[in-house]
Amino acid sequence: MINTKPKFYFICCILLICVMGCKSSLKNNHTLHASIDHQTTLDSLDAALSQLSYTSLMPGFSVAIAKEGQVLFKKGYGFADLSAKTNFTPQTINGVASVSKTFVGLAIMHLVDNGKLSLDEPINTILPYKIINPHHPQTEITVRHLVTHSSTLTEEFDPEEVGEASIYLVEDYPIHTTTPEDIKDAITYFKMGRQISLDEHIMRYTQPEGKWYTPENFLPSLPGKKFDYTNLDAAIAARIVEIKTGISFEEYTRLHIFKPLNMSNSSWKNKDIEVIKRSKIYMPDNRKSPSKAVEMPQYEMTDFPAGGLKTNIEDLSKYLIEMINGYHGSGKLLSAGAYQTLFNPQLAEDSFENHNDFAFNDQQGVAVFWAISPTGYRLHNGGSVGVYSFIYFDPTTKSGAVAFCNLPVDDFGKVRDIVHKYQQLLAK
């Protein structure tokens, strides 16, 4: 504080000016160095990802890193269309595969937050049909069991056995004599599929008269005791959202997630996406020893909430920021308490079999359709035809990253490793 007594006033003013001048100089110098170091880190990240893009089979990919409500880095690499040489950018729309499940979890918690659903509500009090594990016919399966992949439901039956598929084409794709065998097999399978409702998809697996039913679709463990990842849990959870609200899952997520977050380029259906904004999708010509990317036809899943979201990195980074903010009690979409439930561990440690220290181990802990890694990251990975993806954040540094590519190959793991390295540097 400045001493305002007359005999000290002049001296104090001079000292204050000198001290403030020194502080200002030091602060400006520190800010300058911080800015230079920050930019050097971003340039190094860009160079590493660019180099990978040049050497990888992946036609295109995009990444974003965020911290404390700000996107620190956002860029696309390579091509969204190999033949047309269309650049892959943060605005390029692509599938995100199982990262979609985190949106199902958010929708479920939105209902819980608004008093329309309880996580411990038995699903058979909600669905218009009964789902009964034949190994434990008296034990109720609850919503919490669904969102933690502990429902005991699996998808052991292969629909191809009855000449059907759970994936269907939305565009025709001719098979030529030069088409690689792996690609022929995939397209032949897709052509068996057709669009059906969520109810029909679920009932085919879970009802004794269902086309895809077998007792092996149910684990022998008690519901709630064993983690076993399955798309079926997410499909049923999304159907519960529809039943509880009276509107489609697509519309519910549009109104209560996409619109509030200004995710204007996100959709569950190909028909809602402008073709010019969408990436082509690719598969390796040979799964065991890939040598090139082969274009695949666009498709949709009959259990689309489990892995069918299409979006871009620009939208996905907005979602990431909301998740980080929500974890720390300042999210827009849920109350602080609901966000804590979304991200807090829901199962005992002995529910999991895969225990290791890998930073991205997503089979060791689980919240509401979010995995919890040994490092405490909240994350989800995704993989399907034409996509590998990830989303994660570190609660301690309030930072995280998202990325996806249009060809599922091992090189995407290198994208994650590079992004993780620089996310940690930028978080300091």
Q: How would you write the pLDDT of the chain (428 residues) with one tens digit per residue? A: 334 333 333 333 323 333 333 333 334 444 444 577 889 999 999 999 999 999 999 999 999 999 999 999 999 999 999 999 999 999 999 999 999 999 999 999 999 999 999 999 999 999 999 999 999 999 999 999 999 999 999 999 999 999 999 999 998 888 888 899 989 999 999 999 999 999 999 999 999 999 999 999 999 999 999 999 999 999 999 999 999 999 999 999 999 999 999 999 999 999 999 999 999 999 999 988 999 999 999 999 999 999 999 999 999 999 999 999 999 999 999 999 999 999 999 999 899 988 888 999 998 899 999 999 999 999 999 999 999 999 999 999 999 999 999 999 999 999 999 999 999 999 98
First to last CA, the chain: 33
Helix/strand/coil for 363: coil
Q: At what angle do helices 411-427 and 6-55 cross, to 10 degrees?
A: 180
Q: Can you give the CATH number for the domain in which 125 is found? A: 3.40.710.10
Does the pTM surpass 0.85? The reply is: yes
Predicted pLDDT of residue 253 = 98
Which are the contacts of 54, defined by CB distance < 8 A and separation ≥ 6? none
* Whether 187 contacts 297, CB under 8 Å: yes
Alpha helix (H) ranges present in 247-312?
249-253
Distance of alpha carbon 346 from alpha carbon 323, whole angstroms: 18
In 117-222, DSSP assigns E strands to: 167-169
Provide the β-strand partners of residue 62: 76, 404
* Structural domain contains residue 188: yes
The Cα–Cα gap between 168 and 301 comes to 6
Total of domains in the chain: 1
**377, part of any domain:** yes
310 inside domain? yes
Tokens standing for residue 404: 């996806």
Tokens of 219: 């684990």
Position 10 in a domain: no
CA dihedral 359→360→363→369, nearest 10 degrees, is 120
**231-245 vs 198-206: helix crossing angle, rounded to 10:** 130
Any domain includes 217: yes
Q: What is the pLDDT of residue 6?
A: 36
Residue 35 forms part of a structural domain: no
Q: Domain span at residue 294?
A: 49-427
Per the domain annotation, does 230 fall within a domain?
A: yes
Q: Is residue 158 part of a domain?
A: yes
Strands 60-67 and 70-81: antiparallel
Vertex 418: Cα angle to 88 and 420 (nearest 5): 110
CA 183 to each of CA 6, 121, 186, 232, 383: distance values in angstroms, whole numbers, following the listed order: 89, 43, 5, 26, 17
* pLDDT for residue 355: 83
